Amino acid sequence: MSQLTDALASNIGHGQGPGTDAGKSSKPRKPPKVPRGKFSVHFAHYKWLYLLLVPGVVYFAVFRYAPMYGVSIAFKDYVPFLGVNGSPWVGTQHFQDFFSNPDFPRLLGNTLILAFLNLGIAFPLTIVLALLLNEVRLSILKRTVQTLVYIPHFLSWTIVASLSFLLFALDFGPLFLFLNNVMGTNIDFLSDPNWFRPLIVLQEIWKNTGWGTIIFLAALATVDQDQYEAAIIDGAGRFRRVWHITLPGIRSTIIVMLILAIGQMLNTGFEQIYLMTNALNRSVADVFDTYVYFVGITQGAYSYSTAVGLFKSLVGIVLIFGTNALAKRFNQSGLF
């Protein structure tokens, strides 16, 4: 984010420097780099650049901005035959329907529980893993462990889900055979609704904890080493050094990452949840993203599901601005 704002800021004050094409210029006093005057002259000078810009601009107009306009069907009764423009307005009807639907509290609950489980378990684990890796002085071990724990990040959710299906399968899965042979019990991990959330969090930890340490490790590398030596002279042990120097040293990174995580809270990851959803665990598995898919794509309630999606993104925007303001209030740097 900050990279972006910097990029933008550096672009705002663009000036026109000394130039090369004095001959073509409309103001031939000094050799100006770019023809100043009329746009037509400027355009003629830069025609190739404008030509190169065309595919990208068309892409953004069609695939990014047209769907934003299409969000208006959340306030309409979309009929495919009439199109986005022709369909009649219904105001906030779909939002009222959604809020009074018994699905709404269930979806909100499921989404929030998964989000808090991820924030409460996966997020701190990432920091703990980064701290442990940071304590390793044997660089070959550190690099090997990093190489291994980064791998799952690059695998698709389909592969993660498929691995889960095999590992937790009934009758032949390793866990089933182990529980059956050793403990004499068995658990149907994949369809028991009680096991849905633990599985989701476990997948998230396996897939992304290792990768998430990169940012924290980079922040840890910037912590002032002199402080450690001073603390050692004062007799501070390993844990006190971590607590009093390391953690405060990466506090701003932790806060930024937390803000980002909270801003993304309602984005439960469509692919992951969809792949782990089945007929038996729908009661706990349904979240906003998958609900939009099931109601919108499979049942064809386009306007209603667009309203649900719009509600979700608006709450997400409120969340990210809210946590940022909160972080600033506690005198932290915040994100923007």
Partner 1 sequence: MKIHNTTGGRIFDAANYIFLALIGIITLLPFIYVSAGSFANEAEITRRAFFVWPEQFTLGSYEYIFSTPAFTRALVTTILVTAVGTLVQLAFTVTMAYPLAKKTLRGRQVILSLVVFAMVFSGGMIPTFLLVKDLGLLNSYWALILPAAINPFSLIIIKNFFQELPQELEESAKMDGATEIGILWRILLPLSKPVLATFALFYAVGIWNDFMSPLLYLSDNSKWTLQMYLRQVTASSDLLGTGNVDPNYIPPEQGIKFAVIVVATLPILIFYPFLQKHFAKGMLIGSVKG
Question: Site residues for partner 1, window 94-113 (CB under 8 A)?
Answer: none
276: enclosing H helix or E strand: helix 270-276
Tokens standing for 145?
A: 């462990």
In the complex, what is the shortest distance from the CB of residue 64 to partner 1, in angstroms, rounded to a whole number? 4
In the complex, what is the shortest distance from the CB of residue 326 to partner 1, in angstroms, rounded to a whole number? 17
For 17, 48, 102, 143, 201, the CA distances from 266, given in Å and listed in that order, are 47, 43, 19, 34, 15
**Stretch binding partner 1 (CB under 8 A), from 102-110, 111-119, 193-201, 290-298:** 290-298
Contact call for residue 92 and partner 1 (CB under 8 A): no
In the complex, what is the shortest distance from the CB of residue 310 to partner 1, in angstroms, rounded to a whole number? 7
Comparing CA positions, the residue from 262, 256, 261, 253 lying closest to residue 327 is: 256
Residues 131, 242 contacting (CB under 8 angstroms): yes
**Stretch binding partner 1 (CB under 8 A), from 22-30, 102-110, 115-123, 276-284:** 276-284
Residues 125-154 that bind partner 1 (CB under 8 A): 129, 132-133, 135-138, 141, 144-145, 147-152, 154
Comparing CA positions, the residue from 155, 112, 157, 101 lying closest to residue 267 is: 112
Residues 53-82 that bind partner 1 (CB under 8 A): 53, 55-57, 59-60, 62-71, 73, 78, 80
The Cα 83–Cα 99 span in angstroms is: 26
Contact call for residue 191 and partner 1 (CB under 8 A): yes
Identify the residue whose tokens are 């972080």: 327
Tokens standing for 33?
A: 């780099």
Task: Tell me which of 44, 79, 82, 297 binds partner 1, using CB under 8 A.
Answer: 297
Contact call for residue 33 and partner 1 (CB under 8 A): yes
